Amino acid sequence: MTHLDLGLSTCPNDTFIFHAMLHGLVDTEGFDFTPHLHDVEELNGKAFHGEFHLTKLSLFAWMKLRHTYDILDSGAALGYKCGPMLIGKTANIPTPDATIAIPGEHTTAHLLLKLWNPEFKNTVITRFDNILAGVRDGTYDAGLIIHEGRFVYEEYGCKKILDLGDWWEEETGSPIPLGCIAVRKDAPYYTYKGSIESILKNSVEYAMKNRPASRDYVNHHAQELDGDVIDRHIDLYVNEFTLSLGEKGKTSITALMEMAQCKNLL
């Protein structure tokens, strides 16, 4: 039995796709995975220290770590109409000196904000699930929301300023690349890449075909979300690109990295 430490987020899409391989519902081919669940920006930070053999990463973080971690073909978060959103109490575009809450320095959301408008200088790193309340209460002038925030921001009295996913799609015509699952490149872990990709793809397929099987596990790690929001979250972020990046997915990642490099953000 080969042991691997796995970093994943508590978001429904991650717990949904990993449930089967963590609970013996698919063949794990002699691998034993110990899950470590954290907010995605915490996972990004831990990856800079190589803490987990296999981990969820924001694609912006992976770009900075691409010589240390390699993307798996399965498990990625890409898609259409699923990008980060800039919200505020009004729909007016913030001034350059506005205080904007972002969900993490290394998040793809932060990269997209920089690409769209590099003039914003007063950004404040805030855990993703505290951003909406901070904007509602006036702590921040605007906030960059991810995950399920797009489903509930109006409940906080907030307005959409810009959907960065829409902006990305208009600019590139590609699905928006948000996150990935990556394996460390050092030996012996990199030699396991093919097997891990196969196991994860089988886990994603199982989840899609047996959706109720993971419900308790998903709910346990998303206790503040109601069932409808959880279902909408999974529907949006688990799709054909989660099974396999394919050429379209790989092209979108390359486009994002080239854009970041052109703007000297890597």
In sequence order, what DSSP letters do the residues of the chain get, joined into one string? -EEEEEEE-SSHHHHHHHHHHHTTSS--TTEEEEEEE--HHHHHHHHTTT--SEEEEEHHHHHHHTTTEEE-SSS-EEESS---EEEESSSSPPPTT--EEES-TT-HHHHHHHHH-TT---EEE--GGGHHHHHHTTS-SEEEE-TTHHHHGGGGT-EEEEEHHHHHHHHHSSPEEEEEEEEE-STTGGGGHHHHHHHHHHHHHHHHHSGGGGHHHHHHT-TTS-HHHHHHHHHHHSSHHHH--HHHHHHHHHHHHHHHHHTT--
Kindly state whether residues 192 and 74 are assigned to the same domain: yes
Kindly state whether residues 251 and 133 are assigned to the same domain: no
Kindly state whether residues 127 and 242 are assigned to the same domain: no
Kindly state whether residues 118 and 141 are assigned to the same domain: yes
Average pLDDT value for residue range 167-186: 97
pLDDT band at 164 (very low <50, low <70, confident <90, very high): very high
- pTM value is 0.95
Kindly state whether residues 163 and 185 are assigned to the same domain: no
Kindly state whether residues 22 and 133 are assigned to the same domain: no
Kindly state whether residues 164 and 111 are assigned to the same domain: yes
- Boundary of a domain, candidates 110, 144, 172: 172
Look at residue 149 and tell me whether its pLDDT is greater than 90: no
Q: What's the whole-number average pLDDT of the chain?
A: 96
Render pLDDT for 125-147 as a digit per residue (tens, 0 to 9). 999 889 999 999 999 999 999 98
pLDDT reported for residue 143 = 97
Residue numbers of the domain that contains 13: 2-79+175-262
pLDDT reported for residue 148 = 84
- Boundary of a domain, candidates 172, 187, 211: 172
Q: For the chain, how many structural domains are there in total?
A: 2
Q: Supply the residues annotated as catalytic.
A: 147
- Boundary of a domain, candidates 148, 172, 196: 172
pLDDT reported for residue 31 = 97
Kindly state whether residues 161 and 232 are assigned to the same domain: no
CATH of the domain at 234: 3.40.190.10
Kindly state whether residues 231 and 197 are assigned to the same domain: yes
Kindly state whether residues 91 and 222 are assigned to the same domain: no
Kindly state whether residues 93 and 159 are assigned to the same domain: yes
